[in-house]
Structure 1
Amino acid sequence: MGLNAPLVSPRPSDGYDHRFTEVDYLRGMERLVHAVQELSLARSLSDIQRIVRTSARELIGCDGTTFVLRDDGICYYADEDAIAPLWKGGRFPMTTCISGWVMLNRAAVVIPDIYADARIPHAAYRPTFVHSLVMVPIRTLEPVGAIGAYWAQERAATSREVSLLQALADSTSIAMENVRIYAELEQRVRDRTADLERANEEIHQMSLTDDLTGLTNRRGFYLLGESALRAARRNNHHCLLAYIDVDGLKRVNDELGHDAGDSLIADVSEVLRTMLRESDILARIGGDEFCVLVTEPGGDTARLKDRLAEAFRTFNTTQARPYRLSASVGLALTHPESSHTLDELLTLADELMYADKKAATESRAGGVNTG
């Protein structure tokens, strides 16, 4: 007998307590409609479990309900609402419990006396209040779970009670599928958003990074340098800006080719990267021009120049290259109270670099000018 059965029906005479009146049925129908509306708005499995565990009890006035999920051959008792604890959180093989039987046989089952039915694992039920039950599958085609209703006394569920519970289970299956689809769509949106964020970050990094050396480019140097300069002044620190112009790049390009020139620039960048601290801001701002902004230099301009000269000498004596590394350097020191902008420091360091280059002699074999 289904949901469209007539409201007046003969009382069964099987000896069991049914106690499900026409008024109960109408109230159950009203509660079912409300539950279906709630399930249509569910956006997570926990929402579905909450709706089902409370709605099932109210539909047929039972003493307890369970919400069982099928999990790779296991019946997982995911949730419950009952007058005393049942099996929430328990996992049982499908072949050893009644919920598994319901899912495997794709059919509802009514058991007025659990101790008279061989399909029931009696040992698991003895600690509970359960004497009677009805269990329906969640989806009859390839069931994904089951809903169980239990009574503390021997009672045979009526066909209308079974129909109400099965209708709830059918609505639950639709809600679970909607949640699955909704979760997939949400994940796709998250993945798409993450992809766009990564792409934007890559574009941003590309706009701030020199392709050949992987160092910060001119644009990135201004962004990082202005911020570091302000921070140094707030902390009452000196700043040192080094303007480095690599010697001989044009000659290497003309005589050895542009691949060799690129290698020379890459070698210079690696030497600079190795000798500087992680907090120092290093950038390639032109073809053969590099800048370094050092905070907290302690006012010792010569020390950075000497370290660079030594680093180049070490490279030239340990690496087999068709060229030698050397550079002209201009160092501009600014005090915490100074109001120099980064542009003004760059201009000053550039002028000092050209003075250094002018003072260089042709006898220089490697390293940097010290004049």
Structure 2
Amino acid sequence: MVGSLVESDPPGVGSAIESALTFTDPAGGMERLLLAVQELSLAQELADVLRVVRTSAREILGCDGATIVLRDNDTCFYADENAIGRLWKGSRFPVDGCIGGWAMLHREAVVIPDVFQDDRIPHAVYRTTFVKSLVMVPIRRLEPVGAIGVYWAHERMPSAQEVSLLQGLADSTSVAMAHVQTISELEQRVRERTAELRSANDEIRRLSLTDELTGLHNLRGFNVEGQATLSAARDRGRDCLLAFLDVDGLKKVNDEQGHDAGDEVIADVARTLRSVLGPAAIVARTGGDEFCILVTEAEECSDVLKARLTESFRALDEAADRRHHLSVSVGVVRVAAGDCRTLQELVAQADELMYADKKAKLATQIEV
């Protein structure tokens, strides 16, 4: 305590110490404040603001501790501190129950030379700290958003000029906080806009690869996904099956019953293919009544896959609630892992086999 130093030291020594403890060089304080203002102007995040304030407040006032309080609705959040001992960093108090809140509510600085002689101070909270004197100033006097407090371990009556310097720091802090908030809002908008554009681009890409009626891949989607899947299967030494499927009599359905009926047939084909082949197969509607299929986990031979597909559509056609006759012609090619033909070449071969299947069925119908 300053008083005990004055009593025990030789004449003149206590006065010199007390003077050193209570005197702040105005020119030096102003110079440090100007430096703090420059540092605050460069702050990009709230953490940068807090760092500048907690350090410069102590250096400007020559105090033993400084804290930054932020208002959060009806509470005061002690966001940061720089002090010779632990204060209240991370704590929250009611806005009407702490001196930081008082400075905000009254929109003015408060000077307390002896914290234990002031009814505005929650004495029990301060008894565990070194604090004997303090100054608290609002951050922005018009609708304050926080406060800056400085503390001394001895009784201290700061000058009006010192309080003015601290208020100047608080005013600069309010500008820096607004600047940081603007940057944060702009960055958030950029992130949101970027996410929207990414989502839009993903949707555009999906639509460019997807058949609108069935939700399957379209021709472009089959070429992209099919080639990638085929290459991956070859790298793993896996054989594949590639099938080309054509819906029989779709033109007749369209001509006699309308395109809505034809679309219903196409949708039935797509659902059946997905049900029979599962999610691992690449299934695409590559034309009006044409479908391509690539199966990479194929343990069965081409004839078995063809028979399985044919049987599934026969069963569907025989269903009691079927409105339209449904049959398909199928061509299947087995692709060995070492087969170097392109996807388009394999599709062409499967297409030829499909036409052969269609001709064989037509020949059978003529004979009958």
Q: TM-score, normalised by structure 2?
A: 0.91
Q: CA deviation at 1:153?
A: 0.3
The answer for the alignment partner of 2:240 in structure 1 is 239
- Cα distance change of structure 1 residues 133 and 36 upon mapping to structure 2, 3 Å threshold: same
Amino acid of the structure 2 residue aligned with 1:185: L
- One-letter amino acid matched to 2:172: S
Secondary structure in 2 matching 1:337: coil
Q: Report 1:2-21 matches (<5 A).
A: 19-21=21-23
- The residue aligned with 2:15 is none
- Structure 2 residue matching 1:66: 3-state secondary structure: strand
* Residue 285 of structure 2 is aligned to residue 288 of structure 1: no
SS of 2:93's equivalent in the other structure is strand
Q: How does 1:185-196 map to 2 (within 5 A)?
A: 185-196=186-197
* Paired residue secondary structure (1:99): helix
Q: 2:37 matched to which residue of 1? A: 36
- Please give the alpha-carbon distance, in whole angstroms, between the structure 1 residues aligned to 2:22 and 2:170: 20
Give, in angstroms, the shift of residue 337 of structure 1.
Answer: 1.4
Is the 8 Å Cα contact of residues 22 and 156 (structure 2) preserved in structure 1? no
The residue identity in structure 2 corresponding to 1:114 is V
Alignment gaps of 5+ in structure 2: 1-17
Computed over aligned residues only, the root mean square deviation of the Cα atoms, in angstroms, reads 1.5
SS at match of 2:318: helix
Quick check: 249-258 or 33-42, which moved more? 33-42
Query: Which residue number corresponds to residue 268 of structure 1?
Result: 269
Report the counterpart of residue 199 of structure 1 in structure 2.
200
Q: How does 1:20-59 map to 2 (within 5 A)?
A: 20-21=22-23, 24-59=25-60
One-letter amino acid of the structure 2 residue matched with residue 183 of structure 1: S
Q: Provide, for residues 143-188 of structure 1, a one-character-per-residue CA deviation record: whole Å limited to 9, x for no partner.
A: 1100000000001111111011100000000111111111111111
> Does 1:321 pair with 2:304?
no
Instruction: Give runs of ≥4 in structure 1 deviating > 4 Å.
Output: 16-22, 361-364
C-alpha distance in 2, partners of 1:29/1:274? 78
- Deviation digits for residues 14-64 of structure 1 (CA, Å, limit 9, x no counterpart): xx9684546x22111111111111111111111111111111001111000
Unpaired stretches in structure 1, ≥5 consecutive residues: 1-15, 365-371
Secondary structure in 1 aligned to 2:341? Answer: coil
User: Normalization by structure 1: what TM-score?
Assistant: 0.91
User: Is the Cα–Cα contact under 8 Å of residues 209 and 218 in structure 2 kept in the other structure?
Assistant: yes
Q: Distance in 2 between matches of 1:80 and 1:49?
A: 8
After superposition, where does 1:119-130 map in structure 2 within 5 Å?
119-130=120-131
Partner of 1:134: 135
1:74 matches 2:75: yes
CA 1:76/1:256 → structure 2, altered by over 3 Å: closer, same or farther?
same
* Match in the other structure for 2:95: 94
| Residue identity opposite 1:128 in structure 2 | T
Structure 2 matches for 1:238-257, cutoff 5 A? 238-257=239-258
Give distance in 2, aligned partners of 1:21 and 1:311: 95
Which structure: greater helix fraction? 2
Identity %: 59
